[in-house]
Amino acid sequence: MGQQDIEPIVRADHIYLDYAQGSIRGDRISAIVEDASFTIQRGEKFVIIGPSGCGKTTLLKAIGGFLQPLRGELLLKGQPIKKPGPDRAFVFQDFEQLFAWRTVIGNIVYALQAAKRVPKNEAIEKARHYLELVQVAAAADKYPHQLSGGMKQRAALARALALEPDILLMDEPFGALDAITRNQLQLELNEIWQRTGVTIVLVTHSIQEAVFLGTRVMVMSSSPAQIREIVDTSQAEEFGSQQFDALSKHLRSQLIHHETSPERIAQLSAVE
């Protein structure tokens, strides 16, 4: 209730996103993301979910500063986002995101030195601290190629956290992992969030992940690429609880129902 009084860390106001210029159809711009408006509060876990091609990754990249909105305003702490930076640290799905030529701890130390000009000794200490936090300290002196997928993602998370960013941007970070490791990391991410209070924006395909991890979940659709709904999932603490199942069901209906709605079917038949 008091949250409405606090200035959100990210504000999107009728933004349109595309890598090219989008295309004009009649008097509408057709783009990957169309007319999106939302806010993200400090300290929350904001999850973006939607089918492939709905623009959720594009949205994340826009917050990350990799592209500018074609229209509308995208503000970070009240200012338009100009370019990428360590204040919005990314964790990608790709296992290759760590530099192969540096050890695990070397990756974090480099990031701290290069991005935040932290002196070496302090950087090493910080790196160790965050490696402990993600439970990968034992592999500090190994090279990324020697690590399992789960450990690589943990290390990437440590690197992002070590930058002590305003926002942690996560693009399907657990998507390439097996289900068991995935669940494990979801639990650990939650714990890390509770300990550090970092704002998290996470993109996922998985309904279960969205309900469990998110404090709020933004459901997106494709064709047209719009926000369908923003759902409060902060009450769904445990897998299998009533709230969890109810929210999962609701999200599922939002995501799957939409794609076979009567309007959609009419639209598809019209495109002949």
Interface positions with another protein (CB under 8 A): 64-66, 83-86, 88-90, 92, 94, 96-97, 99-101, 110-111, 114-115, 143-146, 163
Q: How far is the CB of 236 from another protein (least distance, A)?
A: 31
**Contact between residue 147 and residue 104 where contact means Cβ atoms under 8 Å apart:** yes
Phi, psi dihedrals of residue 227, rounded to the nearest 5°: -80, 125
What DSSP character marks residue 30?
Answer: E
Q: In the chain, where do the E strands start and end?
A: 10-17, 23-25, 28-30, 33-40, 45-49, 71-76, 79-80, 88-91, 167-171, 199-204, 216-221, 226-232
List CB contacts of 113: < 8 A, sequence separation 6 or more.
119, 120, 123
In the bound state with another protein, the residue whose beta carbon lies nearer, of 38 and 143, is 143
Q: How far is the CB of 104 from another protein (least distance, A)?
A: 12
In the bound state with another protein, the residue whose beta carbon lies nearer, of 38 and 110, is 110
Beta bridge partners of 88: 167
List CB contacts of 241: < 8 A, sequence separation 6 or more.
none
Hunting for tokens 């070397």 — which residue is that?
Answer: 106
In the bound state with another protein, the residue whose beta carbon lies nearer, of 63 and 136, is 63
Q: How far is the CB of 88 from another protein (least distance, A)?
A: 8
- AA identity, residue 208: Q
In the bound state with another protein, the residue whose beta carbon lies nearer, of 77 and 264, is 77
In the bound state with another protein, the residue whose beta carbon lies nearer, of 99 and 239, is 99
Q: How far is the CB of 257 from another protein (least distance, A)?
A: 34
In the bound state with another protein, the residue whose beta carbon lies nearer, of 67 and 230, is 67
**Contact between residue 127 and residue 105 where contact means Cβ atoms under 8 Å apart:** yes
Q: How far is the CB of 49 from another protein (least distance, A)?
A: 22
In the bound state with another protein, the residue whose beta carbon lies nearer, of 36 and 108, is 108
Q: How far is the CB of 22 from another protein (least distance, A)?
A: 21
Q: How far is the CB of 260 from another protein (least distance, A)?
A: 33
Name which of 167, 152, 77 is nearest 107 in CA terms. Answer: 152
At residue 35's C-alpha, the angle toward residues 29 and 41, to 5°, is: 155
List CB contacts of 224: < 8 A, sequence separation 6 or more.
30, 34
